[in-house]
Structure 1
Amino acid sequence: MKTRTVIAMMVAGALTAACSTDPYTGQQKISNTAGGAGIGALAGAALGTLAGGDDRRNALIGAGVGALAGGLVGAKMDQNEAELRAQLQGTGVSVTRVGNQIMLNMPSDITFGVDQDAVRADFYPVLNSVALVLRKYNQTLVDVYGHTDSTGSDQHNYDLSQRRALSVANYLSGQGVDQRRFAVSGFGKTRPIASNGTADGRAKNRRVEIQLSPLT
């Protein structure tokens, strides 16, 4: 439905969940460990159409990045989650875990200037912290999603969301995260998480998300 794009230069069993208390938030979360046995300044025109997750996976495995299997999947994602929560505490970036995937939600109000696609300099330390964890745990695929509110034209929102997602991916790659792990997508206003009828809702909808999935 929406065009997905990949960073240029990319080479194209079942776990039982158990609940535990998150040490940083006090909330209940799923622990799969318990249940389980350069990109440079790329412009939009430099992007190709999406090569699927299998293409990234094959490229990484072919380059010698070992895939995860069995209980290691949940264990590694538990470690990823714990370190991301520790690094991002108090930054305004939320960390959500669903199964073996981790989603980072970065509100655009703290990431970008109004209607701009360049990452704000005061947000660099936050992305540096994300890059630190991504480099340490390199057995994940990294999908970067851009979203906007409903203000403005559909095409403008789509283009802006894509450029913002690309800016985040570019920055992380510049901090040493393997570019072959990335795919970038812009969804414009099509995936709201709150009502666009209020200022608070629109602020929630303007965001960049980073989804981490295990390399299996």
Structure 2
Amino acid sequence: MKIRRILTASLAAVSLISLSACVTDPNTGERKVSRTAIGGVGGVIAGGLLGGLIGGGTGRIIGAGIGGVAGAAVGYQKDKQIKELRESTAGSGVDVSTTDNGAAILVNLPDGVTFSTDSSEINPTFRATLDKLVASMNQYPDSLIDVYGHTDSTGSDTYNQALSERRAQAVANYLTSHGVNPARIRSQGFGETQPVASNATEEGRSRNRRVEIKIVPVTQDDVARARNGG
């Protein structure tokens, strides 16, 4: 049963990447396939919906009232936000990197720090770190935010899927309850289907148990296309 699910997930991942793993080169405006996405198909898939957004972006841009960042400034602002996030979360276990060929920010929240074992209740000691993420998201409001929940392969597929959904929703709820515009945020659980390491070792399983937050900057061109129904 588990093998069949993994095979199905793999095929779905390939389909998903073929449809949504294109990114726009900020220099040329050319649409191209993300090399990050292609690399993920061979073994593990990192960063949730590579090159895409949960539910797309058009409605969310309009609903959130995002004004957008000038195209020439989006890279500078993204790099500045990454630097500030790394500094503010240093020592917390949080990892801040880029995804989608550098077009988005990926914040990895480790399982053992964010949640207790088999729990979707955020550890009280981690809330101060989440507050720093909230502050950053409100300081840079011209972005959309996806929250992805992931587990290791221990336990049943059904249990892992439900746990990943609850954890992603718990983080999304925390962000919105502390002032982040809910129209910017979507959450989704992926269970055990998107490992970033081998589930054959405890270290690998620990890395796979995670919640990821993807922050996708929105440009003024994105806003214009959204308003025009593009």
Where does residue 59 of structure 2 map in the other structure? 55
SS at match of 1:211: strand
SS at match of 1:77: helix
Q: How far, CA to CA, are the matches of 2:69 and 2:111 in structure 1?
A: 33
Say whether the 8 Å CA contact 2:66–2:143 is kept in structure 1: no
Deviation at 1:14, TM superposition (A): 4.2
User: What displacement does 1:126 show?
Assistant: 0.7
Scaled by the length of structure 1, the TM-score of the pair is 0.75
| TM-fit CA distance, 1:76 | 1.7
Mapped contact 2:134–2:179 kept (Cα < 8 A): yes
* Partner in structure 2 of residue 165 of structure 1: 168
State, as a whole percentage, how many aligned pairs show the same letter: 43
2:73 is aligned with what amino acid? L
Find the counterpart in structure 2 of residue 10 from structure 1.
none
**Helix, strand or coil for the counterpart of 2:146?**
strand
Which residue of the partner structure matches residue 15 of structure 1?
26
Query: Per-residue CA shift, 1:157-207, capped at 9, x if unaligned?
Result: 001001000000101111101101101010000000011001111000000
Q: How does 1:1-216 map to 2 (within 5 A)?
A: 1=12, 14-16=25-27, 51-60=55-64, 64-98=65-99, 99-216=102-219
CA distance in 1 between partners of 2:116 and 2:203 (Å): 17
Deviation, 1:139, is 0.6
In 1, distance between residues paired with 2:213 and 2:89? 13
Measure, in 1, the Cα distance between the counterparts of 2:91 and 2:186: 27
Q: Which has the higher strand share?
A: 1
Query: Cα deviation per residue 1:57-89 (whole Å; 9 max; x = unaligned)?
Result: 1222xxx43112311211221221111111111
2:60–2:184 Cα contact (<8 Å) kept = yes
SS at match of 1:196: coil
Cα RMSD for the two superposed structures: 1.8
The letter for the 2-side match of 1:169 is A
What TM-score, normalized by structure 2, do the two folds share?
Answer: 0.71
- Count of matched residue pairs: 171
From the two aligned structures, give the one with the greater helix fraction.
2
Cα shift at 1:100: 2.2
Q: Which aligned segments of 4 or more residues in structure 1 are displaced greater than 6 angstroms?
A: none
SS at 2:137 equivalent: helix
Contiguous gaps of at least 5 residues in structure 1: 3-12, 18-49
Uncovered stretches (5+) of structure 2, i.e. residues with no partner? 1-11, 14-23, 29-53, 220-230
